[in-house]
Amino acid sequence: MDAALDMTFRALADPTRRAVLQALGRGPASVSELAKPFEMALPSFLQHLKMLEESGLVETRKVGRVRTCTLKSEALAVAQDWLDAQRTLWTKRLDQLDSLVLDLNEREEETP
């Protein structure tokens, strides 16, 4: 699971790849449609697409001359699960810190 999580975050680390995922969130699209908004050569864009495929976030299918990409949103669940666990952990720790600060404040007020 750690390798999948690492690949997911590596893929999400780049703004171009995040923009591609956002576009695919609206539905499948061809490689040329996805590449159009970016000012880069197609081979450079294809490297981004390759990373998204390797991370399991995107699936491509070629029909004739058109290569269509689809978002595999279930792959984002790995990252979401990790983030949820971190949120739970840090919420608990912050609640404990808050409780400690309140206790210390009460003791200070009780001390003559």
Mean pLDDT of the chain: 91
CB atoms within 10 A of CB 12: 16
53 vs 30: CA distance, rounded Å = 14
pTM: 0.76
In the predicted model, residues of the chain with pLDDT beneath 50 are none
Neighbouring residues of 8: CB distance < 8 A, sequence distance ≥ 6: 55, 56, 57, 75, 76, 78, 79
Domain residue limits, the chain:
2-75
* Topology classification of domain 2-75: Arc Repressor Mutant, subunit A (1.10.10)
Contact 92, 45 (CB under 8 A): no
Q: How far is it, in rounded angstroms, from Cα 23 to Cα 37? A: 10
pLDDT of residue 79: 87
pLDDT for the residue 99: 82
Instruction: Please tell me the predicted confidence (pLDDT) of residue 97.
Output: 86
